[in-house]
Structure 1
Amino acid sequence: MFGIVRPCAHRLGERFKTEWMAHLCGLCLALRGDHGQFARIVTNYDGLLVSVLTEAQAGPLPGARRTAGPCPLRGMRTAPVANGEGARLAAAVSLVLASAKVRDHVADRDGLLARAPIAAAARKVARGWDRAGARTGASLGFDTAVLVDAVDRQGGIEALAGAGTSVLVVTEPTETATAAAFAHTAVLAGRPGNGPALAEAGRYFGRLAHLLDAVEDQGADALAGAWNPLTATGTSLAEARRLCDDALHGIRLALREVEFADAGLAHRLLVHELRTSVDRAFGASSCGHAAHNSAGQGYGQPPQGYAAGGQAGYGQGGPYGGGQANPYAPSGPGTPPPMGPGGPGGGGGGGGFGGLPPQKPRRGLLAGCAVAIGLFCTCQICCTEHEGPWSRQKRDPWCDACECCENCDSCSNCCDCCNCDGCCCDGCGCDC
């Protein structure tokens, strides 16, 4: 997996987590269906944005979801996954961009790719991915030549860039490629009028992707003697942060011009999660959830804050489509929680404020060992939420990069126009 938009499941909430996983699994299965099992290795977090944008504009259509079979990365559970042209376009774009990444590593002679036989094999795989992406793109009316051309120009631009060169000259090919992919989602969704605004959002997203990759790799590149756009052009981190903040603002403004059927997930990823990605790259954020778990929660105890307010959803049409606001969101500070199960005085659950469920009995030593082996063999322990083998309490996957700020005291991560009812991690009521 690679990509700059890596949302935390705790911050997404149940609705958006389910939708995000549907698009991620849909991309993975589209790669397998069109290009074989090995192609699934290029599944990435940013590629699924193409699928998200297509569905956000078209709305729920017949056949847009199908039920996929059990998968280790889903805890051996079935799940609804995205199905259709958006997922296939995401697959084509992912293949071409992954091919570019492989060729870049070959050119830099990274690791084993410094050896000629392995480098030759990698180049052959990359050429195959280019051809496969082109075939799928052509079937959808998308010419991947614009992506390949951007990749081919990148090397020449980097060779000419030096101190005093604007770093935006170096990011231009990535901006052009991403703009083309974002704009074509409007064609697939039957909303061609959205094309220019989505192309603008794509340009800014491509700029962010390139800059954040440069920021995160600058230290390692310096040690390895590898080329880095910030170092080569003499761009300071302060200037890179300014450019990233400008790009975030540009994406937000561009999305306002797009006509969506349901903008909920697209807004969450491209506005809120993208800002979190920028903060992460520049070391300006931390994972309050992980720190809270590691510092104050025992292994066999239920998660604290279990009954905290859930993710506020967006109404039909979301913040851009002019739809209704969330009818279930609290109307303001001091609004009492609803009566009934889980509320104060309500029945059901485990009693008490919020209605914590009763704890499951712990497993014995041998039964827990058997479950632990199963979790390891099916990759659940590192890739999906699971029960602790012995405690039976919910555990986050080992590979989960949770970055939610559970105890944030401001809405600094929200849009400038937000009127939040509380912490933006618990659901921002913005109408941007």
Structure 2
Amino acid sequence: MFGIVRPCQHVMRKGLYADWMGHLCGLCLALRDEHGQLSRLVTNYDGLLVSVLTEAQSPASAPRRRAGACALRGFKGADVVEAEGVRLAASVSLLLAAGKMRDHVADGDGVYARRPVAAGATRLARRWSSAGTVTAATLGFDPAPLTEAARRQALLERGPASGSVATRGLPELTRPTEDAVAAAFAHTAVLTGKPHNQEALEAAGRGFGRLAHLIDAVEDLADDRASGAYNPLAATGTDLDEARRHCDAAHADLRAAVAELDLPQPGLTRALLVRETGRAVSRAFATAGTHGPGHSPGPEPGAPPGGLPPKRDPGGLLSLACAALTCCTCGLYRPAWDDDHESSFCRRCDCSGYDCCCDCGNCCSCGSGEDGCGCDCC
């Protein structure tokens, strides 16, 4: 899972995009240095938000170190974040990935139904869980909320503990994810010595966790229906219009919680947790074929600029090879059929007609009512 927060350098100030890359590369290298090359597979965009929040609450920027050349950076070096926040992000990523892998094995999803694959995945999940727990202990973070969330989620999806799954409401199904993210976000206040931020961080974590869970469900709905796999929207009889209302409410809660935080360096946090999450909602519902109530229809969902139809995933070995390359590059490489989809949301914008509060060159959200005019520096 690469995550729902996927900023684009075309709509983010150059300095903020470089900072985001510093956190992303810092997380990847922290996983490699402490847990081995294979653990870099759990690098994800949402996990590094823990590192971003830690730096945002500190009066000074997080320590950086010079990293060597990397193919993802055009074989150039870079200054990457090296701090406790990155290690916390690594721990959280490992624990959640381990729980997700165990869930796939238990459900027998795809290749996990094969005994050799299931046995290897179980061993790897055990290794990642142990590594994440050890790192968490060095940071004073109790991993129980994360491991417990994975167990609760599995029970909610499989077992009729209090009746059939269909009798459960959507908020009940998203609560384990909310609790896990809330715990991780709140611990950043402990690392930075800002206990007064904990309540707002927990609220932000719950909003983000709910949003991530819902967006994942929306994006997977069509495939899950076709394959008969579990999906919280289908299980609760939630249509896309209602799902959009839930997403908009979660985004509003998240935005309000971020506004309450005491952040000496708020730029990147607001850009990711306010603007980019809003873009993620629009992207998910455009792909799902709806813009929800109260939203202008716009162009054909998923269509790139110029009215050309999007390229389709060809399947087969080519699709598998591209998927592997996407994974190995942390999602920074995307094949043409993904690029066309992203291009409708990732492009330089025309700021004419907007009353921007600053001249930062990032006006895509101006006038949207989100976080002032929406510019990163506001």
Question: Could you state the TM-score of these two structures normalised by the residue count of structure 1?
Answer: 0.70
- Kindly indicate whether the alpha-carbon contact (under 8 Å) linking 1:146 and 1:177 is maintained by their aligned counterparts in 2: yes
Q: Does residue 197 of structure 2 align to residue 255 of structure 1?
A: no
Task: Tell me the distance in 2 between the aligned counterparts of 1:145 and 1:136.
Answer: 13
Which residue identity lines up with residue 51 of structure 2 in the other structure? S
Q: Does residue 273 of structure 2 align to residue 270 of structure 1?
A: yes
| 1:221 corresponds to which of 217, 220, 224 | 224
Which residue identity lines up with residue 38 of structure 2 in the other structure? F
Alignment partner, residue 123 of structure 2: 124
**CA displacement 1:133-174 (0-9 Å, x = unmatched):** 000000000011110011111111123353342111011100
Mapping 1:297-316, distance limit 5 Å? none
Q: CA deviation at 1:108?
A: 2.9
**CA displacement 1:312-346 (0-9 Å, x = unmatched):** xxxxxxxxxxxxxxxxxxxxxxxxxxxxxxxxxxx
**CA displacement 1:3-34 (0-9 Å, x = unmatched):** 01111121112111100000000000111111
Mapping 1:115-194, distance limit 5 Å? 115-158=114-157, 159-160=159-160, 161-194=164-197
The SS at the match of 2:203 is helix
Which residue identity lines up with residue 369 of structure 2 in the other structure? D
In structure 2, the CA distance between the partners of 1:384 and 1:412, relative to structure 1 (3 Å rule), is closer
Q: Does residue 346 of structure 2 align to residue 404 of structure 1?
A: yes
Task: Tell me the distance in 1 between the aligned counterparts of 2:228 and 2:306.
Answer: 38
Task: Tell me the distance in 2 between the aligned counterparts of 1:240 and 1:176.
Answer: 20
Q: CA deviation at 1:120?
A: 1.2
Alignment partner, residue 72 of structure 1: 71
In structure 2, the CA distance between the partners of 1:29 and 1:168, relative to structure 1 (3 Å rule), is same
- Kindly indicate whether the alpha-carbon contact (under 8 Å) linking 1:175 and 1:207 is maintained by their aligned counterparts in 2: yes
In structure 2, the CA distance between the partners of 1:400 and 1:30, relative to structure 1 (3 Å rule), is farther
- Kindly indicate whether the alpha-carbon contact (under 8 Å) linking 2:50 and 2:85 is maintained by their aligned counterparts in 1: yes
Which residue identity lines up with residue 246 of structure 1 in the other structure? A
Aligned sequence identity (%): 51
Which residue identity lines up with residue 55 of structure 1 in the other structure? E
Q: Which stretch of the first structure deviates more once superposed, 213-222 or 96-105?
A: 96-105
The SS at the match of 2:168 is coil
Alignment partner, residue 44 of structure 1: 44
Task: Tell me the distance in 1 between the aligned counterparts of 2:377 and 2:150.
Answer: 40
The SS at the match of 1:11 is coil
- Aligned CA-pair RMSD: 3.0
In structure 2, the CA distance between the partners of 1:201 and 1:115, relative to structure 1 (3 Å rule), is same
Q: CA deviation at 1:237?
A: 1.2
Q: CA deviation at 1:255?
A: 1.2
- Kindly indicate whether the alpha-carbon contact (under 8 Å) linking 1:75 and 1:384 is maintained by their aligned counterparts in 2: no
Task: Tell me the distance in 1 between the aligned counterparts of 2:131 and 2:368.
Answer: 39
Aligned residues: 331
Q: Which stretch of the first structure deviates more once superposed, 401-410 or 31-40?
A: 401-410
Alignment partner, residue 106 of structure 1: 105
The SS at the match of 2:65 is strand
In structure 2, the CA distance between the partners of 1:49 and 1:234, relative to structure 1 (3 Å rule), is same
Which residue identity lines up with residue 260 of structure 2 in the other structure? E
Alignment partner, residue 10 of structure 2: 10
- Kindly indicate whether the alpha-carbon contact (under 8 Å) linking 2:267 and 2:377 is maintained by their aligned counterparts in 1: no
Task: Tell me the distance in 1 between the aligned counterparts of 2:201 and 2:63.
Answer: 21
Question: Could you state the TM-score of these two structures normalised by the residue count of structure 2?
Answer: 0.80
Mapping 1:365-376, distance limit 5 Å? none
In structure 2, the CA distance between the partners of 1:229 and 1:26, relative to structure 1 (3 Å rule), is same
| 1:416 corresponds to which of 354, 357, 369 | 369
In structure 2, the CA distance between the partners of 1:58 and 1:399, relative to structure 1 (3 Å rule), is farther
- Kindly indicate whether the alpha-carbon contact (under 8 Å) linking 2:91 and 2:132 is maintained by their aligned counterparts in 1: yes
Which residue identity lines up with residue 45 of structure 2 in the other structure? Y
In structure 2, the CA distance between the partners of 1:428 and 1:147, relative to structure 1 (3 Å rule), is closer
Which residue identity lines up with residue 155 of structure 1 in the other structure? A
Alignment partner, residue 299 of structure 1: none
Task: Tell me the distance in 2 between the aligned counterparts of 1:241 and 1:110.
Answer: 28
In structure 2, the CA distance between the partners of 1:256 and 1:162, relative to structure 1 (3 Å rule), is same
Q: CA deviation at 1:287?
A: 12
- Kindly indicate whether the alpha-carbon contact (under 8 Å) linking 1:272 and 1:413 is maintained by their aligned counterparts in 2: no
- Kindly indicate whether the alpha-carbon contact (under 8 Å) linking 2:268 and 2:376 is maintained by their aligned counterparts in 1: no
Q: CA deviation at 1:180?
A: 0.1
Task: Tell me the distance in 1 between the aligned counterparts of 2:342 and 2:136.
Answer: 32
Task: Tell me the distance in 2 between the aligned counterparts of 1:253 and 1:71.
Answer: 38
Q: CA deviation at 1:233?
A: 1.0
Task: Tell me the distance in 2 between the aligned counterparts of 1:175 and 1:18.
Answer: 29
Task: Tell me the distance in 1 between the aligned counterparts of 2:109 and 2:212.
Answer: 21
The SS at the match of 2:11 is helix
Which residue identity lines up with residue 97 of structure 2 in the other structure? A
Task: Tell me the distance in 1 between the aligned counterparts of 2:368 and 2:39.
Answer: 37
- Kindly indicate whether the alpha-carbon contact (under 8 Å) linking 2:211 and 2:247 is maintained by their aligned counterparts in 1: yes
Q: Does residue 89 of structure 2 align to residue 90 of structure 1?
A: yes
In structure 2, the CA distance between the partners of 1:53 and 1:238, relative to structure 1 (3 Å rule), is same
Q: CA deviation at 1:401?
A: 3.8
